[in-house]
Amino acid sequence: MTYCIGMLVREGLVMMADTRTNAGVDNISTYRKLRLYGNDGKRLIAVASAGSLSTTQGAIQRVTKGLAHPETGKYENWGTFQSIYDAAIAAGRALRQVRDSMQDLAQAGVNFDATLLVGGSINGEPSRLFLVYSAGNTIECAADTPYLQIGELKYGKPILDRALHYDTPLNAAVKLGLLSFDSTMRANLAVGLPIDLMVAEAGAGQARTNIRIEESDDYYLELSQLWQQKLAKATDELPLPSY
Question: By CB under 8 A, is residue 90 in contact with a second copy?
Answer: no
114, 52 contact by CB (below 8 A): yes
Under rule CB under 8 A, residue 193 binds a second copy: no
Q: String of b and e for 136-156 (b: at least 16 CB within 10 Å)?
A: bebeebeeeebbbbbbbbebb
Other Cβ atoms less than 10 A from the Cβ of 107: the count is: 8
What is the C-alpha to C-alpha distance for residues 109 and 49, in angstroms, rounded to an integer? 22
Contact 166, 10 (CB under 8 A): yes
Residues 201-220: x/- map of binding to a second copy (CB under 8 A)? --------x-x-x-----x-
For residue 240, the minimal CB distance to a second copy (Å) is 5
Residue 199 as a binder of a second copy (CB under 8 A): the answer is yes
Residue 41 C-beta: closest distance to a second copy, Å: 20
From residue 147 to residue 186, the character string flagging contacts with a second copy as x (rule: CB under 8 A) and all else as - is -------xx-xxx-xxx-------xx-xxx-xx---x--x
Is 10 a binder of a second copy (CB under 8 A)?
no
39 forms part of the interface with a second copy (CB under 8 A): no
Provide, rounded to whole angstroms, the least separation between the CB of residue 69 and a second copy. Answer: 36
Q: Which is nearer to a second copy, 101 or 228 (CB)?
A: 228
What are the E-state strand segments in the chain?
3-9, 12-18, 20-22, 28-30, 34-38, 43-51, 67-68, 75-76, 114-122, 128-132, 138-140, 147-151, 195-201, 209-213
Query: Is the Cβ of residue 80 or residue 224 nearer to a second copy in the bound state?
Result: 224
Shortest distance, position 193 Cβ to a second copy, whole Å: 15
CA distance 231 to 208: 31
* Residue 41 found at the interface with a second copy (CB under 8 A): no
DSSP line for 60-76: HHHHHH-EE-TTT--EE
223 counts as binding a second copy under rule CB under 8 A = yes
Are 131 and 138 within 8 A, CB to CB?
A: yes
Contact residues for a second copy, defined by CB under 8 A: 154-155, 157-159, 161-163, 171-172, 174-176, 178-179, 183, 186-187, 197, 199, 209, 211, 213, 219, 222-223, 226-228, 230-235, 237-243
